[in-house]
Amino acid sequence: MECGQYRLGCIVLKLSDNKSRVTNDYNSGYKCLQIISDSSTAGLIEWNITVHTIGKHDSSKKTILDRIGGAHQWSITGREVVIGAGTETYNISLLTSTPSLSRMTGSFSQVRVSHLLKSAAIAHVLGTFAVSQLLIQLQPQDDPAAQESAEMPNPELGFNLKQDLKATLNNPDYSDVIFTCKDGVIMYASRLLLSIRSKRLHNLLCKKIHEPSPSKVSLPEITSVQLAVVLEYCYMEETPSLTLENVVEVFMAAEFFILPRLQEIVADYVKVNITDFASAGRILSKAVEILETNAGDNALFVVIRQYFLSKKLVEGQLASLSRPALKVLLEDTAVTKGSPTDSFDLFRFVVDWAFEIVGKTSEDEDRKNLLAFLNNPHDRREMQVAPSDYGISSKAIEDIGKVIMPAVKNIPFGAMCLHQLAAIVDIMTFIPDNILCAAFREHVEFGVVKCATAFQKVVFTWNVDSDSRYASYLQLSENKSKVTNIHYTPLRVRHDGVPTCLRIISDSALPTAGLIEWSITIHTIGNNASSQSLFSIGLAKMEGEHQWRITGTGVVTGAGTETYNISSLAGTTITFRANMTSRVCTFLVNGIDQNLVWKDFPEEVYLSASLPDGASCEFV
């Protein structure tokens, strides 16, 4: 044996005359020294090593290793632990109790070690005063003793079916069919095992009774990488060779061999292991290129679509998608509409993606100007604009239009508000009129009427229950249109038992049918800043909390609706428009439609308000 990389070790590593026995004679300093064999070889080989001692000090005994390869991926430690690249970790009996440590014919006597390096040597890391002896020199493949030992039964077999089948994987000794793959690689398999796992393989490998079954099969569509994972699945229902780099090819191979369960495994692997939008986009782009794109329920498409659309996207996260991949991403309109990404924001991100596709960088003036325009559709003051008004060339609109058009029908324009649609109409001249008209119609199809002249204006009055113990704190105007909570006690000294907020409802319920409109002016929302968020107006049943309300700080909630934020109500006038036949209601703040809808309220519903100390509102 010869010394390894530690040159100092040559002084303290003592070799016997025949160079078979080595001892670490160093008593301080380095606790472990590495040494490797004189040579490596190929073929079927066997060797034995006797471990005389595993070190003088307890702290160093755990470091003695019998290892193959300079990187020490395959080893048995002095503390009984066996590890190997691509294998699990096992525990065996203490090394000093076994005079002959290792007997190898490609595997340890107790644990199979696989994926050895093409060029490897026996290696040791020896603790202080550790002694090992190589008893039998390496024997080449043509040595009769080596051949005889290779034929000896492996004591590992027979204890675990999955491990036994793994040992036969791509092993010519246990195979009766040879595959030649697309990349020219030869692979071996069992005809019986494959034919019962896959209908396609059964038809390929098992002929009729009077016809000879093929022993050699050419697979011009399948690479060795794909077939390796297919064989792993067929033999063990595991896929250790599956990676994010080959998932698309393996999915295609599973489709080719009619292995739906393997397709599910691939899709689940992607779902668990995908961690970034760039990788997700590349996988989807490759999948769209080589898989059937008309399969809407393709599990791989579904998983990646969910990855993108189940998150709130930001600008730039679509960049790795190809043109066909974007179309597939948006194909499931139900998923797109249910995405936490706002539909208009999604459109902006598609526009940004399109600029990337046509080669316009983030510094391009057309790109910057158009995205800036789309970023604030509610801030526009002009009734109509042209692209040139915002420094956007018609050529830029035309170029991105060609890229976006194949996917444009899958963009949820109908979920956008009227301001957003107006911005698109003015600038995005490539979008077909029928798509935009359908989007505008969706604002009517919900039964929400927004034409001011269609509504009958109604003035309501407030009802203060004179029997209430707190009635004296609610001051009404003579016509009962204005109400004020006149109670005031600082919250930090409030001990009089009066609630922080007093509730009041209208004298009468809303009518059960027809189109009605009413307005309320908010004079103040309370004296204490800490209680102003308790102010609210809206709709409520005779008893119970407000199910549909706007708070003083601008939070809008409604039964069956999401929560929105608008500006503070202090000093504003709220105009409500309700279609009582359809049971829906919209509202405007200082004349500006908020494009929010309350719906599904009951037949008997009242106008209501919750007033903290000093709050005041009035029907107008």
pLDDT digits (tens, 9 = 90+) for 215-230: 888 999 999 999 999 9
**Rounded-to-integer distance, Cα 76 and Cα 268, Å:** 35
- Show Cβ contacts of residue 366 under 8 Å, excluding neighbours closer than 6 positions: 355, 360, 391, 392, 393, 396
Q: Does domain 456-619 have CATH number 2.30.30.100?
A: no
Angle CA(332)–CA(337)–CA(341) in degrees, nearest 5? 115
pLDDT along the chain (620 residues), means of 10: 35 71 62 66 64 62 41 59 53 41 34 37 45 38 40 57 82 88 92 86 70 76 94 91 94 92 94 94 93 72 92 91 92 84 91 93 91 81 74 91 92 86 89 90 62 80 80 89 81 53 88 90 84 84 74 74 65 88 85 80 87 90
Among candidate residues 319, 315, 312, the one with its CA nearest the CA of residue 341: 312
Among candidate residues 571, 578, 570, the one with its CA nearest the CA of residue 538: 578
Domain boundaries, the chain: 2-134, 162-271, 342-445, 456-619
How many CB atoms sit inside 10 A of residue 36's CB? 20
pLDDT attached to residue 204: 81
**CB 507, CB 603: distance < 8 Å:** no
CA-to-CA separations, 238 to 97, 262, 284, in angstroms, rounded: 36, 9, 24
- Show Cβ contacts of residue 515 under 8 Å, excluding neighbours closer than 6 positions: 449, 454, 455, 456, 577, 578, 579, 580, 581
Q: Pinpoint the alpha helices (H) of 362-461.
A: 365-375, 394-404, 418-427, 433-445
pLDDT attached to residue 419: 82
How many CB atoms sit inside 10 A of residue 426's CB? 19
Encoded amino acid at 581, one letter: T
pLDDT attached to residue 2: 36
Main-chain phi, psi angles of 599, to 5 degrees: -150, 170
**Rounded-to-integer distance, Cα 300 and Cα 284, Å:** 8
Among candidate residues 578, 525, 529, the one with its CA nearest the CA of residue 550: 525
Q: Span 162-271: which CATH code?
A: 3.30.710.10
Q: Pinpoint the alpha helices (H) of 416-530.
A: 418-427, 433-445
pLDDT attached to residue 386: 80
- Show Cβ contacts of residue 488 under 8 Å, excluding neighbours closer than 6 positions: 527, 613, 614
**CB 86, CB 232: distance < 8 Å:** no
Same fold: 2-134 with 162-271: no
What's the pLDDT tens digit per position in 353-388?
999 999 998 899 999 999 988 887 876 666 667 888
In the sheet where 65-68 sits, what is the strand order?
A: 2-3, 32-36, 122-127, 65-68, 74-77, 81-83, 90-91
> Residue 374 corresponds to which tokens in the numbers above?
């789309």
Fold classification of 2-134 is: Jelly Rolls (2.60.120)
pLDDT attached to residue 76: 74
pLDDT attached to residue 62: 44
